[in-house]
A and B are shown apart, each in its own frame.
Chain A
Amino acid sequence: MDAVDAVFCPNRSGAVSNPLLDQLPSYQSLLYRRKSSGSNSTKRRSISRGRYGSTSSHSGSGRGASLRTEERPMPARSVPDHRLARELPLSLEEKRRYKEQRLQQHGELSGWAQWRLSSRHYLKRLKEESVEALSALQLWRADIHLIEGMFGTGILSYFSFLRFLVLLNFVMFLLMFSFVMLPIITATHTTSVNSTFANGGGGECSVYPPRDRQGLVNFHQHIIDLLSGTGFLEQTYLFYGYYKVENIHFLSFSYNLPLAYLLCTITYLLLSLLWIVKRSATGFKRKLVQDEERFQSFCNKVFAGWDFCITNENAARLKHSSLLYELKTDLEEERIRQKMAERSRKEKCRIYSLRIALNLFVVAVLVCCFYCIYSATIFSQQKQAQCQKCYFIVELIIEYLPSIVITLANFITPIIFSIIISFEDYSPAFEIRFTLMRCVFMRLASIGVLLFSLWSQITCGEVCPCGYNHKVYPCWETHVGQEMYKLMMFDLLIIASVTVFVEFPRKILVNHCNCGLVKWWGQQEFAIPQNVLEIVYGQTICWIGTFYCPLMPAINTIKYFLVFYIKKVTLVNNCRPASRPFRASSSTFFFLAVLLIGLALAAVPVVVSIAQIHSSRACGPFVNFTTSWEVVPRTVSQLPQGLMAFLYTLSSEAFAVSFFVITCLAMFYVIALAGAHKRVINQLREQLAMEGRDKRFLIQKLCQAQADLSAHSSRSRSGLSYRGNQKSSTSGVYVVRPLVQYETQA
């Protein structure tokens, strides 16, 4: 390698000794031209020719490295026409010159080509201006810029994720509002539009006793109603039960509200899925393109490690230390991984058995938590029915008992998980990821357990006339909506109260108290994973709850709006930047992956309740149907014949099987293609390395020959004339001559 270095990195002052090197086309295309003392270019900045590709035919001129800037008006074929001036890595002055030169060239083109080019530029301009205008409308731009400057891009990704969720919830609200609520509102307030109300056909199933509080109502009972969605909130647009409309007859057509309700539900789930996938597409693409063997973390961390947007000195210092920590940890991890690969058989057995035991323990902890949630829910449901005259606080606690138990479980289990994982002897990065996965599972599964326990109460075991427990829950969907509402409210209360009652006092204590315990506790760090889990939990509740509580996206939008400001205040005032860095890119991917898991987990209960559970007969738009899904087949059967046949074929087994087979074939093809490409890439890599070695070998030989020749010529300089040898030694075609001369000499 040293001999190679000598060839490739010659002493710059003695560059004359290897003019060959400067003539190599690849070298010319990569090297910046330095301002040589002889040239009269006024600009110091040299132009990299890599922009124009390696088809730099100018380098073969053999005149040496420095081409003048005045000679830069290149022939048109080597300069791509459509390239905008600002996409070139040149100084402003040079870009101006390039633009003028290009305008000149365009002047020579025909009128049609000119018009086409100018219209293309105009459209590009228009697009940019619209993007600029849209981005000026972006919510919270100044706040996020401030956070970025103080804390870097890791925490910034959390806040832009929050902004994305606010937007998503707002769009969901608009969807539900315009298709479900607006028709009813216009129906109730306009005389020309009337609606047919649905009735469940009478009978005991359609009895819905009003739950309003009668008589004199205390103030604290209003508070309870506000916080749990009962009482005066129950028979409002907030909950499913209010939408007891079957058809709305506008002037020219009839609006089928149950169908609209169901389709809105399906639409918002699909819309969320598409939007999240689109947002994660860029990050995912990069992850797929990455090499499989190497996680490519080092290049990413070194070349893209520094956040250039940091403006705060404190933050810069912390960033330095976090980068140092990260690099050290990664190097350490590589050493550990090498050691782990060399583990003996006995060691492996011991570790695997330990891991199995600990995982069983984790499963046991999870089962225990789920059982607690289940029993708390059952207890709460039973007590709610009995407790009409209870004390205010007791009633509130009973209403909120499932939420309290879930929050407690989600507070304790991460601590247990982080203790357990230290015994399992994984590499540090994997430890973090695995703990996070367990916490995610715990959080999202607790909602599932709550719903399961609710459903075990709602559906009756023995034969029941209405298909559900109509005595206790005449309108069970509203009830489920109320539970979701309670979960959401409690979540917001917890976030606000933890900030006010835990984080601010902690900061005051740390700043003013000097005792050892407080110093060990230290200042609050903004733990991104836990915060992200919190908001994904809230979003999952919203997705499940929107079917039962159509105004929930609106409430969620307001909730996340408040959460943004709460988190920003606590971040700026109480927190120090994390000592363990959280990379922006992997974090965006992580956030969206967790959100997708939440969406999948939310879709399951909604789909099950739509398709399986009998809709209540006493309230809601689906009183005349057995299940909520039934509205779709009934509507399809009323469609014209051709369309109906088409839809039936779409849902038939033949179509599904063939669709599945075709998708599998496409997938296999793409996988095979990717494998082939990978092989080609590896071959090309080896070839490149080999070419590099060939080039170095040849240059070495040439320089050797050159050195021999000059030694020879200096030895026998007297009496022999070398016609044109001096000149030819600097040109490109000198290989043959010296050898010939040498031979004739010999």
Chain B
Amino acid sequence: MQIRLYRNCQVEQEGEVWFALVKFVSARNKDESNQRLCRTNRTNNTMGATASKLPKDQLSEYQELTFLTKQEILLAHKRFNELLEREDRQQIGGSRVPMNKILTLPELKSNPFRRRICQVFSTSDLRDGSLSFEDFLDLLSAFSDSATLEIKSHYAFRIFDFDDDGTLDTGDLEKLVNCLTGEMDNTRLTSEEMKQLINNILEESDIDKDGTVNLSEFQHVISRSPDFVSSFKIVL
């Protein structure tokens, strides 16, 4: 019966066969969960992805709780798998990828805000910027095409808030501009230019004139910024 199931599932690679057998043995009592696995395998193979270790109900839950489509979640699953160590690949739900591995992703490698992004989306107790798979999905969801402007501006605010105090003050803005212009010394603005720039930014966005930009002021200025939605996007 196991072999018949194997044939029905059309699993190709040896590792996946082994995994399919293991899954069958472990879920022996639940026939229908096996059939679900076969169905997802078949649909995934038509898309060319590896065998899915993502059960269908979890997939649909992720679809409901994030802005990602099914293909995007499966692609994220695959890419996250590649970042994990071999032994962790079985329990993708519980394991975390350390920050330096996440930063090797090509989508994040050249991003000047990559460390802040990892720290903002990480739910790790150690505050080391490591991401679990669900954190990774949260990241992709906030940066996806269909995320709302509120979500994007909220997370953008948190990414730009380098000292995590809830407002963007002069120090935060200065660090932000330095990130934008490049990390080298010869790519920075002079201090007068920086002061002029920060004055202009605060003049445009600080409504209550307290010298800092809080979340609602930031969201207000972003809602009038035409470039934001198109630039705040990461697609795998």
Residues of A participating in the B interface, judged by any CB pair closer than 8 Å: 1, 4-5, 8-9, 12, 30-32, 34, 42-45, 48, 50-51, 85-87, 89, 91-93, 95-96, 99, 128, 132, 145, 153, 283, 286-287, 289-291, 294, 296, 298-300, 302-313, 315-317, 320-321, 323-324, 327-328, 331, 334, 583-586, 685, 688-689, 691-693, 696
Residue contact B181 to A43, C-beta cutoff 8 Å: no
A92 to B138, CA, bound (A): 7
A306-B111, A320-B180, A689-B208 known; A91-B193 Cβ under 8 A: no
Within 8 A of A (CB), among B103-132: 106-107, 109-113, 122-125, 127
Q: In this assembly, does B81 line the interface, its C-beta being within 8 Å of a C-beta of chain A?
A: no
Q: A302-B173, A308-B233 are in contact. List 11 more A-B contacts (CB 8 A).
A: A4-B210, A51-B150, A86-B141, A153-B231, A286-B225, A308-B113, A316-B112, A327-B181, A334-B200, A688-B207, A689-B208
A317 to B62, CA, bound (A): 35
A310 to B216, CA, bound (A): 28
Q: In this assembly, does B3 line the interface, its C-beta being within 8 Å of a C-beta of chain A?
A: no
Best-buried of B107, B160, B228, B231 by chain A (most CB within 10 Å) = B231
Residue contact A323 to B226, C-beta cutoff 8 Å: no
List the 4 closest A-B pairs by CB distance, nearest first.
A585-B226, A316-B110, A692-B208, A320-B182
Shortest Cβ distance from B196 into A: residue: A331
A316 to B113, CA, bound (A): 12
Q: In this assembly, does B31 line the interface, its C-beta being within 8 Å of a C-beta of chain A?
A: no
- Which of chain B's residues have a CB closer than 8 A to the CB of A693? 209
- Which of chain A's residues have a CB closer than 8 A to the CB of B211? 1, 4-5
User: Nearest chain B CB to A136's CB is how many angstroms away?
Assistant: 8
Chain A to chain B contacts (Cβ below 8 Å), 28 pairs: A9-B165, A30-B216, A44-B124, A48-B215, A50-B216, A86-B66, A87-B150, A91-B123, A92-B138, A283-B226, A299-B225, A302-B176, A302-B177, A302-B180, A303-B228, A306-B111, A306-B180, A308-B234, A309-B231, A311-B110, A316-B111, A317-B182, A323-B180, A324-B189, A327-B197, A331-B197, A585-B230, A586-B226
A286-B226, A299-B221, A303-B225 known; A334-B196 Cβ under 8 A: yes
Of the candidates B154, B177, B209, B224, the one whose C-beta lies within 8 Å of that of A289 is B224
User: Nearest chain B CB to A143's CB is how many angstroms away?
Assistant: 14
- Which of chain A's residues have a CB closer than 8 A to the CB of B225? 286, 296, 299-300, 303-304
Q: In this assembly, does B156 line the interface, its C-beta being within 8 Å of a C-beta of chain A?
A: yes
Taken residue by residue from 64 to 89, chain B's Cβ proximity to chain A (1 for < 8 Å, 0 otherwise) reads as 11110100000000000000000000
Residue contact B210 to A309, C-beta cutoff 8 Å: no
Q: In this assembly, does B16 line the interface, its C-beta being within 8 Å of a C-beta of chain A?
A: no
Q: In this assembly, does B1 line the interface, its C-beta being within 8 Å of a C-beta of chain A?
A: no
Of the candidates B181, B205, B209, B232, the one whose C-beta lies within 8 Å of that of A308 is B232
| Contact residues of A: prevailing secondary structure | helix
A586 to B230, CA, bound (A): 12
Of the candidates A304, A307, A311, the one whose C-beta lies within 8 Å of that of B222 is A304
Of the candidates B62, B141, B148, B154, the one whose C-beta lies within 8 Å of that of A48 is B154
- Which of chain A's residues have a CB closer than 8 A to the CB of B109? 311, 313
A380 to B24, CA, bound (A): 81
Of the candidates A312, A324, A689, the one whose C-beta lies within 8 Å of that of B207 is A689
Shortest Cβ distance from B113 into A: residue: A306
Residue contact A8 to B210, C-beta cutoff 8 Å: yes
Residue contact A43 to B123, C-beta cutoff 8 Å: yes
Of the candidates A44, A132, A296, A305, the one whose C-beta lies within 8 Å of that of B122 is A44
Of the candidates A128, A303, A586, the one whose C-beta lies within 8 Å of that of B221 is A303
Of the candidates B134, B200, B227, the one whose C-beta lies within 8 Å of that of A92 is B134
Taken residue by residue from 81 to 101, chain B's Cβ proximity to chain A (1 for < 8 Å, 0 otherwise) reads as 000000000000000000000
Of the candidates A91, A327, A586, the one whose C-beta lies within 8 Å of that of B177 is A327
User: Nearest chain A CB to B212's CB is how many angstroms away?
Assistant: 8
User: Nearest chain A CB to B89's CB is how many angstroms away?
Assistant: 20
User: Nearest chain B CB to A313's CB is how many angstroms away?
Assistant: 5
Residue contact B231 to A306, C-beta cutoff 8 Å: yes
Residue contact A303 to B160, C-beta cutoff 8 Å: yes
Residue contact B201 to A87, C-beta cutoff 8 Å: no
A320-B181, A324-B181 known; A691-B208 Cβ under 8 A: yes
- Which of chain B's residues have a CB closer than 8 A to the CB of A305? 180, 227, 231
A289 to B226, CA, bound (A): 11
- Which of chain A's residues have a CB closer than 8 A to the CB of B187? 320-321, 324
Best-buried of B179, B187, B210, B222 by chain A (most CB within 10 Å) = B210
A1-B211, A586-B226 known; A328-B69 Cβ under 8 A: no
A85-B64, A299-B225 known; A93-B134 Cβ under 8 A: yes
Best-buried of B66, B150, B209 by chain A (most CB within 10 Å) = B209
Residue contact B181 to A323, C-beta cutoff 8 Å: yes
Q: In this assembly, does B214 line the interface, its C-beta being within 8 Å of a C-beta of chain A?
A: yes
Residue contact A312 to B110, C-beta cutoff 8 Å: yes
Residue contact B226 to A42, C-beta cutoff 8 Å: no
Q: In this assembly, does B143 line the interface, its C-beta being within 8 Å of a C-beta of chain A?
A: yes
A327 to B216, CA, bound (A): 25
Q: In this assembly, does B12 line the interface, its C-beta being within 8 Å of a C-beta of chain A?
A: no
- Which of chain A's residues have a CB closer than 8 A to the CB of B218? 303
A313 to B107, CA, bound (A): 10
- Which of chain A's residues have a CB closer than 8 A to the CB of B64? 85-86, 99
Residue contact B209 to A689, C-beta cutoff 8 Å: yes
A86-B141, A302-B176, A334-B196 known; A585-B227 Cβ under 8 A: yes
Shortest Cβ distance from B205 into A: residue: A299
Q: In this assembly, does B185 line the interface, its C-beta being within 8 Å of a C-beta of chain A?
A: no
A308 to B211, CA, bound (A): 28
- Which of chain B's residues have a CB closer than 8 A to the CB of A42? 125
A50-B216, A320-B182 known; A304-B65 Cβ under 8 A: no
A87 to B214, CA, bound (A): 20
Residue contact A30 to B230, C-beta cutoff 8 Å: no
